[in-house]
Amino acid sequence: MNRTNQKPFRLTEWLFFNFMIKVPKFIPFLFKSQIWQFPNPDRHIYLTFDDGPIPEVTDSILSILEEKQVEATFFCIGDNIKKYPDLFKKIIAKKHAIGNHTFNHLKGWNTSNETYIQNVLLCQAEIEKHHFSVALFRPPYGKIKPKQSKLLREKGFKIIMWDVLSRDYNPNTDSTTCYNNTIRHTESGSIIVFHDSLKAKNNVLESLPKIIDALKEKGYIFKKID
């Protein structure tokens, strides 16, 4: 892809990731090969957590999900799986879905295609050490080049994006804002992003139980991504 073609792609995704809580309809239209929602008539929604597993956070998230009887999808960093294998085993034991989030949390825009794909496969190898195989992938920061996406899809990965961003990672965001961001913009089929990280710890742990209760009251049913 030449420089002229790269600019609209990068500008569009940069605007969406940095300023948009609810992904506008034209983004999935432009990037049809990536999954942004799972439209359905049954009010199913999909809660996802990026960046784990991590001490002080993962266990607490798992406890909340168990208490609320909710299943979710965890997009894990390979290096964190390697450092904290027991935490990773707990996610599997609770029967939540697992996704690949690269080994080193790489930004696709700043990484060569070869290096990026190898880093994804390195994470995949770490996951498979636990006798577990996944076909789900989420690009860190939502930043992936079209060629990288194509290469991963050719290897059998589903590229899972999102349509609702809680912004729990933002130091200028509090748990009330995370709650409002999520409740206002979730609809049937929504893929919602939270973070299993120290940076997001306070926001996610304070807002998550309230969000789950509120969305259940609205008739939504939480599902993991297959």
pTM across the whole model: 0.91
- Is 195 in the active site? yes
Q: Residue 28: its pLDDT value, please?
A: 81
pLDDT band at 23 (very low <50, low <70, confident <90, very high): confident
Question: Domain 38-223: which topology?
Answer: TIM Barrel (3.20.20)
Q: Residue 5: its pLDDT value, please?
A: 41
Residue-wise pLDDT tens digits, 109-152? 999 999 999 999 999 999 999 998 899 999 999 999 999 999 99
- Give yes or no for residue 157 having a pLDDT over 70: yes
- Give yes or no for residue 86 having a pLDDT over 90: yes
HEC sequence for 63-127: HHHHHHCCCCEEEECHHHHHHCHHHHHHHHHCCCEEEECCCCCCCHHHCCHHHHHHHHHHHHHHH
Active-site residue among 50, 51, 163, 168?
50
Adjacent-strand bridge partners of 192: 47, 164
Active-site residue among 96, 101, 105, 195?
195
- Is 50 in the active site? yes
Q: Residue 26: its pLDDT value, please?
A: 81
